[in-house]
Structure formats: C-alpha cells, structure tokens
Structure 1
Amino acid sequence: MKAIDIKGGSGPLESLFINSDTPTPVPAKGQALVRVKAFGINRMDILQRNGRYPVPLQAPATLGVEFSGVVHSLGPRDEAHEDSGRHRFEVGDEVFGLAYGGAYAEYIAVSTGMLLRKPRSMSWEVAAGIPETWITATQALTLISEFSEGKSILWHAGASGVSTAGIQLSRRLGASQIFATAGSPEKTAYIQSSLGATAAFNYRTEDWVQGVRDVTGGKGVDVVVDFVGADYFQKNIDVVARDGRIVLLALLSGGKIEGGVDIAAVLYKRVRIEGSTLRSRDEEYQRRLRDALEEYIPDFEEGKLKVVIDTVLPWDQIQEAHRIMEGNKNKGKIVCTIPWE
C-alpha cells in the first residue's frame, strides 16, 4: 500500500513523501482493517516527524492518530474484550476513530474498540477531524479537571483543534464563563463570535491575566487548560482561582522554566496542577472516552456542536499540511484526503 513516510526516519517537513512500498497491515485479534478516506493532522505529528515525541510501543512507524474510512476486513474476534451491540462492525461500515498511529496511509489496522460509526450526513473530512481533538478535550474536562456546571474555564491556544472543541464542550456542560487566548485579532474575534467564548485575548498584545481578572471581578478561573508550558506557568498560577485546577496538555514553549517562579500561590490558593497525555493511555481508558464522544454525535448532526475545519488538502500535499500547522495560522483542524481509485 501507499503511506506517508519520512526520509531517514525523522526530519523537516521536506522529508515527508508517499512510500508506495509500505506493507499493508494485517488486522490482529479484535482489530479491523480500515481503508482510509481522510486523516487529521495534529501537533504530535510534527513532534514525531522531528524525532521529539515518545511514541507508544504498540504504534507503527507511520504517522497519524485519527482517520475516517470504510471497514475493509476484520481480524479474529476477541470475545474477552468485545464490545456488544452497536460496536460490532462489519465489512463495509463507514467509521471514524482513534489509533496509536498509522493513519497517514491507505489502510490502517485498529482496535474495533476505538471505532465509531460515521453518520451518513457527516463528511469524511469532518469525521477525520473529530477523534483526537474532541477526545482530548473531553479527557481534560471530565477525567482530569472534573469540570461541572457553573465553573469558569480558560483555554489556551484557543483556535486550535482541541480548544475549539473544548470551548464548545465547556458551554455544553454549563460553564459560567469561558475564556481563551490566541495569537491574532482574527482568531480572538472568531472564538467569541462563532464559538461563544465570554472573552478571548490576543496574547501578543494583551495582558490576558489582567483581562480575566477584570471580567471575573478578581476571582480568576476555576480551570486552566494549557498547551504552552514554561512561558505560561507563572501566569497560569496567577490567573487560576482558589481551589482551581491547571491541566497541562502540551509544552509548546518548552518544559524548563527560566528565572524565579513563585509557587506560593499554589499552596495558598490550594491549586491542583496535573499533566496528561492521551496517546500513551491504555485502550480501556481511551475506550471510555470513545463512549463519551459517541454521545456527542447527535449534536454534531444537529449543528449544536461543530467541527472547525481550517484546511483540507489531498494527501500528496502533506508537506503543505505540516507547513500550515507549524506556522500556527490555522483556526481548527487541518485534514488530508486520500483519493480512491
């Protein structure tokens, strides 16, 4: 089969190419072989391409963790871990799902426990843009921060795929106030007008800590979801409310904090700081989140929740897809499609 490969195993975006001699995976027990129609681009793909991501042992070398496509064949049944009823799949079923890797390819072998049925009304591109981002946002809200109705929340990287999902899910869960940061006036305007955030701040030109304090009457926010890391660590401590939580999901500015950081507020405000990744979690954990995501599907169909797609490209333009991601110009998801002959 054909798959996106990396010359030399790692390198710049120019090292990406379509390898026509990639072995087609064989579905193992409890797996389906899915013929891929579209796949989503994620920040971890950039890190992995550069050799800077701790790839799970069970992941294939091929990049990509989210996809949509059609079930092509099935491996032997795994009766000990088999889902019942609606999660039993057949050849020809239209699906989308999450994988440990291998989505940048014509075929992917993936556990049936990580598949969902694609509604007929949903496009392949939209379906491919859902799994990683919406499951990550769900994880941050429900399993880590234990978010509940009436709480306030701040989403950094507000125009990213995860945060555009998280802002909408926060609203769905009854957030009292939703804040976000982003890097341009166009992005902050979009976050407020289209996603329904209470306020969005341009981190390049505005003091977002003071902005949040002003809107909250000095209280701060109950939950901060951060992808930036070192550069925002002190500011997150400053902006979080008493008994608040800071959820760290990425380290875009690095993991080492320069200068003196005052952690006294962590003690006095009783702040809980927790980091998390999704890809390294076991399948049972991810399956719980798959089940939660499944509950959102009617809202996607009815337009109550929207998957924000910034760019769709054919997969032979994979270098351009990575270039857009690296440039941080996108609002929402970047998706690549694979033509079927």
Structure 2
Amino acid sequence: MQAIEIVRPGGPEVLKRTERSIPVPQPNEVLIEIAAAGINGPDVMQRKGLYNPPAGVTDIPGLEIAGRIMALGTEIGQVSSYKVGDEVCALIAGGGYAQYAVAPVRNVMPVPTGLSLMEAAIVPETFMTVWAHLFMRAGFTAAKSILIHGGTSGIGTTATMLCRALGATQIFTTVGSKAQQDASLKLGADVAINYRDEDFVEQVKQHTEGRGVDFVMDIIAGEYVPRNYQAAAMNGTIVQIGVAQGKVKELDLFPMLAKRLTHLGATLRSQTVEEKSEILRQLQERVWPLFAAEKIKPQLFKTYALQDAHLAHEQLAQGGHIGKLALINESFKA
C-alpha cells in the first residue's frame, strides 16, 4: 500500500511517500480501507520528533480515519456486529496517512447520519478530545460560560459547536483574523476576540462584568497560562489540551490559589482501548443525534491527496484555516 512516513524529525518536507505492507488485523481488530484521514496537531508534533507513537504502534502518522471495513480479526463476533463492507470512522493510535489501517473494533464507530466519509474522517480525534476532557473530565454543563482558545482550529470549532448545542450561556473564542472572527461567531461564539489587536482578559472581563468565565479550554499554553488564570472566574476550570506555544517561562500560582481554580491536563492517544471505548459510547449517545439533527457539522476546510501530506502540513503552519484538513486516498472507490 501507499503510505506517508516521517524520514527524520523536521518540517513538512520530511513527510515522504513510501510503500508498506498492508497491515493484518489482530484479534478484535478490523482492517479499514481508508477513504480519508484527518490531520491533527499531534501529527505535527510527531513529525517534529516531539510526540513519538506508543510502543508497538506503527511509525506512520495519522490518528483518525474513515472508510470501509475490508477484513475482520478473530474474536470480533464476541464484541461487535461489524462486518466486511461497513462504512465506519475510527480512532487509531497511528497509521492514518496510508491506504489501509487497522483499528481496535471497540474504537470504531458508524459514520454519523448526514455526514460524508470525508467529514466523518475529521470527527474521532477532535470530538473525542473535547468530549473526554471538557465534558467528561472537567464537567462542563449547560448554563456555564467558556473561553476557547484557537477558536477556528479543529478543537476550537468542535468545542464551540458542542458548547452552544448543549446550552452554554456565553462562549468566548480567540482567533487571528476578521474572517476567523466571522466564522467563529457563525458557529456559535458570542464574542470572538482577535488576539492580534485585543487582549482576551480585558474582553472577557468587559463582557462578564468583571466576573470571568467558568471554563477555559486552551491549546496554546506558554504566556497564555497566567492570563487564563486572570480570565477565569472564582472556582473556574482551565482545561489544558495543547501546548502550541510551549513552556511557561514564569508562572505565579497565587492567582490560581486565590480563585480556587482547577487546572486539568490530559492527552487522548495514551489512553487505553477500554477508556477510549467509553468516550466513543458517550459520543454516539449524546453527539451523534446532534449530527443527525443538523445542529452541528464538522468543519472541513480543505482536502489534499495522500501524497501531498507535506502541503497539508505547510497549510497548518501558515494558519488561517477554519476547521480541519484531511488527506484523501484517491484510489478509494465509493
């Protein structure tokens, strides 16, 4: 099969097309012919040599896919009714930048009603991350306010749509342009703050009568961490799911103590198949109906042919996109 490998840590140019053997599904796994694969921040970190795959996992990047089941491993019937030919989407620990990949059957989901395979491919990683960390772990509920950094990223658009659909009172986002402001507001944000010329702490305070927000979802880190403490309300929660800006150079923890804040951090990739399975169960119960009712829709910004993965990563580095990018397996026959 055709696949994309990382020949060495570096920029987008280190993503090269290669040939690999089609993987063989192990017990309780399925082999999926990939129609499309979502592109995510962890892929970029892996490309840079900062986020190696877990032991025993392929070095091919890519954490979410959609396509057609082509083969079943043994023991599948004990845990699943999936069959060859079913169209599905799946969360995988690696291997999405290819024509075929294997997935634990417990981490496979039916394509949500109303979505194409291209759209379904950008659902698992982002929706699972937001649902697991913001809703399951941090306990976000209706009638709460939130500040979402990276408002037009995959994580940001997903969090905005879910919070709006599930009853948030106020949604603030940070974005980098007028076009992104307009897009974020259209997705459900009440206030979209252009971080290039506005201070998000001041804007949050202004629109909450000085109270701050109940939750902050942050993919940036760096200098944003102490400012998040300023923007948070008493007893607020900061959900840290990314570190795009890197380490905090200096951090005064007293504001966190004084406000009785909770600062949570987590990753999805390292969780067990069973843990991910519970997240998927809740997604299908709570979020799949929102797709069917057309209350939310994954934001697919642009697609690239598999062999052009380096161009997709260049687009990520340039920024300006709204939603997510995906790689297309052009040999897939619908």
Shorter-chain TM range is over 0.9
Structure 2 unmatched runs, 5+:
none
Deviation at 1:145, TM superposition (A): 1.4
Report the CA distance between 1:12 and its aligned residue. Answer: 2.0
Q: 1:36 and 2:34 equivalent?
A: yes
Counterpart contact for 1:39–1:103, Cα < 8 Å: yes
1:272 aligns with 2:259: no
Whether the aligned pair in 2 keeps the contact of 1:58 and 1:100 (CA below 8 Å) is: no
Cα offset, 1:119, TM superposition: 4.7
CA contact (8 A) 2:88 2:111 kept: yes
- Is 1:165 matched with 2:158? yes
Q: CA deviation at 1:78?
A: 5.3
For 2:317 and 2:283, the matched residues in 1 are separated by 27
Post-superposition offset of 1:150: 0.8
| 1:64 aligned onto 2:56 | no
4+ residue runs over 4 A deviation: none
Match of 2:104 among 111, 118, 125: 111
| Equivalent position SS for 1:104 | coil
Shift of 1:91: 0.3
Give the whole-Å Cα distance in 2 for the aligned partners of 1:268 and 1:11: 42
> Which amino acid in the other structure matches residue 83 of structure 2?
E
Match of 2:227 among 218, 235, 238: 235
Q: How does 1:144-159 map to 2 (within 5 A)?
A: 144-159=137-152
C-alpha distance in 2 between matches for 1:326 and 1:40 = 16
Q: What pairs with 1:1-20 in structure 2 (closer than 5 Å)?
A: 1-7=1-7, 9-20=8-19
Separation in structure 1 between the aligned mates of residue 113 and residue 257 of structure 2, nearest angstrom: 51
User: How far is the alpha carbon of 1:326 from its aligned partner?
Assistant: 1.4
Percent sequence identity over aligned pairs: 34
1:340 aligns with 2:293: no
1-structure distance, mates of 2:85, 2:204: 50
- TM-score, structure 2 as length reference: 0.95
Task: Give TM-score, length-normalised by structure 1.
Answer: 0.94
- Give the Å deviation of 1:198: 1.0
Q: Is the 8 A contact 1:157 1:182 kept in 2?
A: yes
- State the AA in 2 paired with 1:283: V
Shift of 1:178: 0.7
Q: Which residue of 1 aligns with 2:173?
A: 180
Q: Any idea what SS the aligned residue of 2:184 has?
A: helix
Please give the alpha-carbon distance, in whole angstroms, between the structure 2 residues aligned to 1:325 and 1:305: 23
Cα distance, 1:225 vs structure 2:
0.5
Query: Aligned partners of 1:178, 1:120: CA distance in 2, in Å?
Result: 27
Deviation at 1:55, TM superposition (A): 2.1
Cα deviation 1:78-100 (Å, max 9, x = unaligned): 57xx53xxx42100000001000
CA contact (8 A) 1:144 1:247 kept: no
Alignment pair present for 1:315 and 2:312: no
Give me the whole-angstrom Cα distance separating, in 2, the residues matched to 1:34 and 1:154: 37
Shift of 1:105: 0.9
CA distance in 2, matches of 1:177, 1:245: 15
Cα RMSD, aligned residues only: 1.4
Partner Cα separation in structure 2 for residue 313 and residue 78 of structure 1: 33
Letter of the 2:187 partner, please give it: L
Supply the AA of the counterpart residue of 1:273. H
Structure 2 vs 1, CA of residues 168 and 119 (structure 1 numbering), >3 Å: closer, same or farther? closer
* Separation in 2, partners of 1:11, 1:220: 39
Q: Any idea what the Cα deviations from partners look like across 1:159-205, whole Å, max 9, x if unmatched?
A: 0101101111111221111111011121112101x211110101111
Residue 223 of structure 2: SS of its match in structure 1?
helix
Distance 2:131 2:94 in 1: 20
Aligned to 2:283: 293
Deviations 1:230-273 (A, max 9, x none): 21011001010101111111111112x224x3221111110011
Equivalence for 2:188 = 196
Q: Distance in 1 between matches of 2:135 and 2:125?
A: 15
CA contact (8 A) 1:178 1:197 kept: yes
Q: Using the alignment, how far apart are the partners of 1:54 and 1:230 within structure 2?
A: 22
Counterpart secondary structure, 1:200: strand
